Structure 1
Amino acid sequence: MSLRRRPNPLQWIWYALGGRLPERYREWVLHDTTSRFWVWRHAARSTVLVGPLMAVWLLLPGPLLLRLALVLMAALVGYFYSFVYMEEAAENRLKKHGYPAGTGKKIRRQAHAEEDRLALERYIAQYRTPQE
């Protein structure tokens, strides 16, 4: 088992903003985009992008209700688009770090193959039984 090197906080912020990490972090990027918690990791990276904008709008002069509404709209729109395209974003990160297209999706699919098979069996048993 090889030891995955983690980027330091500044490198991680650069990575969250879309930057490429040095080659020695290549395996960590694969783990980051395919681990069991990859969706939560994606949410953390998205917060780095959306968070400063929300903070600025919260600090602007004006009625508090309006500022809170702006922050809420920034969060809803920002996270919505982030999660809609999260698989593509993960694949793009992997390609940027030298992995072939589709690597992340393939690894995530393999990790859930057994539970997907069981879910399909339950679906077929419940909804595809012969009619009497």
Structure 2
Amino acid sequence: MNQTPDPVQRIRYIYGATLPPSMADWVIEDLTGRGAAARYLARFLVPILPVLALFLLVPAPLWVGLSMMALLYLPLIYFAVALMYVYRRHRLTQHGLDPDLADIAERRRAEVERAAYELRHGRA
């Protein structure tokens, strides 16, 4: 049974709540499927923008406020990207799923490359 969360469940999920086991397929797709990286980055990087925009209210030239925003936002981007794999494994574990699913796409890609290599070099 492939269920999707309702809007309230989805908002709770974004903020760290777990979904019922009946939605495990949706969780796996959300964390490992197509567009998972973009969704992850959007969930981390978009909500902070209004808070950072408060720096634009500083009584100074525009570049000062933008610079202060950049000093906080650029490291946030860096660490969000760096910790993406750790976060996905944590969320899978949180939902009672195998954390090794976090790199399932890389494993499939490696299997295809290995099969192609073995085919080219006569090891198939």
Normalising to structure 1: TM-score of the pair?
A: 0.70
What's the CA shift for 1:68? 0.8
How many residue pairs end up in the alignment?
117
CA distance in 1, matches of 2:48, 2:114: 37
Residue 30 and residue 62 in structure 1: after superposition, are their counterparts in 2 closer, same or farther (change >3 A)?
Answer: same
Aligned to 1:108: 105
Give the match's secondary structure for 2:99: coil
CA distance in 2, matches of 1:86, 1:51: 19
Residue 69 and residue 13 in structure 1: after superposition, are their counterparts in 2 closer, same or farther (change >3 A)?
Answer: farther
Normalising to structure 2: TM-score of the pair?
A: 0.73
Instruction: Tell whether 2:1 aligns with 1:15.
Output: no
Which residue type is aligned with residue 62 of structure 1? Answer: P
What's the CA shift for 1:35? 0.6
Aligned to 1:5: 4
Which residue type is aligned with residue 105 of structure 2? Answer: R
Aligned to 1:70: 68
Aligned to 1:129: none
Aligned to 2:53: 55
What runs of 5+ residues in structure 1 fail to find an aligned partner? 126-132
The two structures, once aligned, show a CA RMSD in angstroms of 2.7
Q: More deviation in 10-19 or 31-40?
A: 10-19
Give the match's secondary structure for 1:94: helix
What's the CA shift for 1:114? 4.8
Identity %: 27
Residue 30 and residue 53 in structure 1: after superposition, are their counterparts in 2 closer, same or farther (change >3 A)?
Answer: same
Residue 100 and residue 15 in structure 1: after superposition, are their counterparts in 2 closer, same or farther (change >3 A)?
Answer: same
1:12-62 CA-partner distances (Å, limit 9, x unpaired): 33323333234443221110111121111111111245334323333x332
